[in-house]
Amino acid sequence: MPMTITEKILAAHAGADSVMPGEIIQVDVDLALANDITAPLAIEVFYKLGTQEVFHKDKVALVPDHFVPNKDIASAEQAKTMRLFARKHQITHYFEPGESGIEHVILPEKGLVVPGDLVMGADSHTCTYGALGAFATGVGSTDLGVVMATGQTWLKVPPTIKLVYEGTAGPWVGGKDLILRALGLLGVDGAAYKALEFSGPTIKDLSMDQRFTMANMAIEAGAKNGIFEPDQITKDYAEPRSSRKQVCFSSDPDAVYERTVHIDVNSLEPQIALPHSPDHVRPLSKVDPVRLDQVFIGSCTNGRMEDLRAAADILKGRSVAGDTRLIVIPGSPDIYREAVRDGIIETLLDGGAVIGPPCCGPCLGGHMGVLAAGEKALSTTNRNFVGRMGHPTSEIYLSNPSVAAASAVLGRIGGPGEL
Amino acid sequence: MKCEGKVWKFGDDIDTDLIIPARFLNVSDEKSLAENCFADVRPGFAQNIGPGDIIVAGRNFGCGSSREHAPIAIKGVGISMVIAKSFARIFYRNAFNIGLPIVESEAAVDVISEGDWVSVDLEAGTLKTENDSESFVIQAIPAFMREIIRAGGLVDYVKQRGLK
């Protein structure tokens, strides 16, 4: 029976020859992930189950990144709950600040997710790992607690929407624009309960960093997972990072899709998501030159090496506008180190940026750049819901890192072409 | 199982940041989360809920983050159930897992207004508006999910079946 890559990975983890959309299956999980916000509840569930040990101490990843370094006593207590659990159960993949970073940046970096894996994470952006040709989806803490105890969960096999990107992207257009364009077409529930498969000639040349950005935002269309078929670019990234068996699945030519959406990128401009929804997308030229109080470059969406490099390319020899603040947060210590070594951090500092420690930062309005009433921000993050980054009357626009850096220099929304 | 109460009406795409803003996620106990339920968009919401009150909303309720704190806050504040045109998938699982009943009904949501009195019989699959003026058949909950509810949530479901 012909299957999509998503169906093949699910079948392999259900011990079945094939699966069909709509079928409810029990699957074995390769990696269970939680962070400092979702782990405490999952740990509570784990103990309620009466379990003594996690299903596999190498297959649980606990990453403090949301409110770490801790912003207050309450968040410190939550991080402590996770830390003590990790020690007690000798969790191999628990990381303290210094080694830790944003969960969805460091797990692929450390080779903890490889092609063909099935990952369940108590964080909605767990779908990021689909960039590696893995099935990865977000769940709540109760589901995760059960996975930590049993190594298994249930899933309903999703139908797949295939996105076919065609053409060559122009200057200042990258993975962020490709996914924002798709969100504009699909809407915030356009792929609800479904798999999003990214394909087409444009994708073949995309770097892993760009692919992570795209898979990361599949959830913004309501999708269960976003996925790329692994190719040489995937292998070059994943093979040196892990000695685990890597299985590169691909969709059969006659696999059945719920629908196929073609996206022409030849004439695609940088895309901006306007307040207050990631599907409220316009091309940059159709967006008002909104004055900005803050620009943020970072997050599990755009906190990787290429993103920082793109920002530094714009900032080189330029300065952030007087009335605008620029916050840059490298997604991991490795990225931070490389950015220091390559002079990227110096360029950003010289341009007037403040650099934060690897963590989620202001993306979810927790700390390190919370917005005041009425403030307007441009951010390379994934969500611009009401109050997401601070006060409910603040406004968030989403863009790629080049546009964000250019806008920080201009003090308003604008493109690198205007500099 | 029956739920009956006054309606709090919301629109489409009610995200989890609206249900419980992230700045309140430095704790995870039900009482604290409940106090801040819809704190930004409906100030005083938590303080004005009557026993059994019901949230009625449009499409894609609970979209965004995976935070289970969202259904916990809603349940903790005293809301007996959520009726929506559709639910985002992580919220859907979370609600069942923690024992917050949710049902989808496009037709019912269109005619119910803020402040209406609504009663729902989950077993019979019926929804009635004030004075039985209108009644609707609500979508059956998938059999697999019904088993989880019958067990009292995912934790008890797993315990009853035994850990492997």
Structure ipTM: 0.95
Query: Cβ of B93 and A143 within 8 Å?
Result: yes
**Whole-angstrom distance, CA of residue B23 vs CA of residue A248:** 40
Interface of B with A (CB under 8 A): 13, 15, 17-18, 21-23, 25-28, 40-41, 59-60, 63-69, 71-72, 86, 88-90, 93-94, 97-98, 142, 144, 153-155, 158-159, 163-164
What is the average per-residue pLDDT within B72-84?
A: 96
**Whole-angstrom distance, CA of residue B88 vs CA of residue B59:** 8
Using CB atoms, pick whichever of A67, A138, A386 lies closest to residue B90: A138
Q: Please answer whether residues B71 and B100 qualify as being in contact, where contact means their C-beta atoms are separated by less than 8 angstroms.
A: yes
Residue B144 clears pLDDT 80, i.e. is over it = no
Best residue of A78, A225, A280, A364 to probe chain B, by most B CBs closer than 10 Å: A364
Residue A358 DSSP one-character state:
S
- Strand pairing partners for A281? A273
Query: In residues, how long is chain B?
Result: 164
């964080």: which residue's tokens?
Answer: A123
Q: Can you give the pTM of this predicted structure? A: 0.97
Q: What is the pLDDT of residue B45?
A: 95
- The Cα-based distances of A46 to A147, A148, A250, B155 in angstroms read 9, 7, 35, 9
Buried b (16+ CB within 10 A) or exposed e, B84-102: bbbbbbbbbbbbbbbbbbb
Chains A, B: CB pairs < 8 Å? 141
Task: Check the CA dihedral A91-A93-A99-A105 and report its sign.
Answer: negative
Using CB atoms, pick whichever of A140, A146, A277 lies closest to residue B90: A140
Q: What is the pLDDT of residue A142?
A: 97
Q: What is the pLDDT of residue A157?
A: 98
Nearest residue of B to residue A217, measured between CA atoms: B64
Nearest residue of A to residue B144, measured between CA atoms: A24
Tell me the Ramachandran region of residue A394: left when phi exceeds 0, alpha when psi lies from -120 to 50, beta otherwise: beta
Residue B162 clears pLDDT 80, i.e. is over it = no
What is the average per-residue pLDDT within B145-151?
A: 79
**Whole-angstrom distance, CA of residue A374 vs CA of residue A378:** 13
Residue B164 clears pLDDT 70, i.e. is over it = no
What is the full per-residue pLDDT of chain A (419 aa) written as tens digits? 999 999 999 999 999 999 999 999 999 999 999 999 999 999 999 999 998 999 999 999 999 999 999 999 999 999 999 999 999 999 999 999 999 999 999 999 999 999 999 999 999 999 999 999 999 999 999 999 999 999 999 999 999 999 999 999 999 999 999 999 999 999 999 999 999 999 999 999 999 999 999 999 999 999 999 999 999 999 999 999 999 999 999 999 999 999 999 999 999 999 999 999 999 999 999 999 999 999 999 999 999 999 999 999 999 999 999 999 999 999 999 999 999 999 999 999 999 999 999 999 999 999 999 999 999 999 999 999 999 999 999 999 999 999 999 999 999 999 999 99
Best residue of A141, A216, A277 to probe chain B, by most B CBs closer than 10 Å: A141
| A107, two tokens | 């797990």
Q: How far is B157 from chain A (nearest CA, A)?
A: 10
Using CB atoms, pick whichever of A51, A224, A386 lies closest to residue B89: A224
Which has the closest alpha carbon to A193: B82, B19, B59?
B59
**Distance, C-alpha A112 to centroid of its chain:** 15
pLDDT tens-digit profile of B1-32?
789 999 999 999 999 999 999 999 999 999 99
Residue B54 clears pLDDT 70, i.e. is over it = yes
B44: which residues sit within 8 A by CB, 6+ positions away?
Answer: none
Q: How far is A45 from chain B (nearest CA, A)?
A: 7
Query: Cβ of A366 and B27 within 8 Å?
Result: no
Torsion angles phi and psi, residue A125, rounded to 5: -85, 15
Query: Cβ of A192 and B17 within 8 Å?
Result: no
